[in-house]
Chains A and B, each alone.
Chain A
Amino acid sequence: MLSLAGVVTHYGPVEVLKQVSLEIREGEIVCLLGGNASGKSTTMKSILGVVRPTAGSIAFDGERIDGLPTEAVVRRGIALVPEARRIFGRMTVRENLSMGAFVRRGAPAAEIAGDLDRVHALFPRLEERADQLGGTLSGGEQQMLAIARALMARPRLILMDEPSMGLAPALVDQVFDIIQAINRQGTTILVVEQNAAVALSIAARGYVLQNGRIVAHDTAAALLGADHIRRAYLGEA
């Protein structure tokens, strides 16, 4: 569904991604692991066209999307749940959700209202706080809003950048349960995480990124069992 082949991305003169190749198949949950500054977020930004790769290609449904402006990439059915949520703090919860549905301008209002109901069923808190400003929500609620906002676009692929960051352990479990539920309804998911244990527990396959290179790629079970992965990413000596 999404494939990156030999993607190289620079920030100025610095080569951040060095020949990254990966493949995500329809219906999968794939995780991309890596420490700080390993190039995880840059991979997402390259997919979305926020930064432009200097070499390699990115294809969605077999069509090249590298080089397209960001708004054209997301219109093809890719949504992002960004690192640190980045909800619109000066907009209400309701307005944030309608921004999520921005790519579907022109869709019948009833259809959007139906999606809003579905999102509210998943996150009842957001309905209670519909008129509150996004910036006044708690961290956990903001994460829910960021996910709900992505769902409102009816994406076929959701990119999730560190959904566990800054959340209490109980909330992390809840968020990953929701990610699984979304996946069961047919949405493909690429989740980028530092918290390898949680990410691998729901993913089918995983890639490990180190200094801008893919250094390992295997099924989640195999990665969980691999010694060097455990040492580097699961905090075991």
Chain B
Amino acid sequence: MIPRLQAVLFLILLIASLVMGAILFHMREKAHDRMLAGQDAAPTQAPQVAAPEQARLFVASDEDNTLRPLVYSLPLPSDPGARGKAILGKLLDLYSATDALHPVPGGAASVEQVFLLPAHGNAANAAAQKDSGDELAVINLKGSFAASHPSGLETETLTVLSICDTLHANLPRVTEVRFLVDGEVRESLAGHADLTRTYLTSDAERADVTKP
């Protein structure tokens, strides 16, 4: 037999839990709506009016599994996130061209957003990394890009490495890159390249299997 006091206490706790759950759900919905409204209202800087600058792109080639550094003159916004998005847009535009050596459909519209956050690294050197100003780039890709990306170890790896290398070349503070697809973590790009992990921009330097 459960004492009356315990039964009442249990009931109170249960009701409190349900109320808190409902409040949290309501707050989450409101935050989501606020975020969407903010996105719509966010002022965007038209790259066309910005002065052209030199951007270094690492363009992948399926033929020899390499990344070739190419310099393009692009109108780039001053905001680092928008700058990263514009540069990656140009890279993906090259891949969507008919004569591309690394053909991937989608083009510039495939990059939804690029966020820059302080890099955390591993727990041991987190403080040192915070002081160094290293940044983590979070790249939100469109689901249509992942869905139409050719499947294969080589082609997916080249896409990931070329994005990481290109970002680091133009935003040197970016040392880590994470990928989202439609705002969510996705297991792989098209069945192979792992998108759940944080990529270090130094990964691309290790891409040569002959170097231990």
**A is bound by B:** no
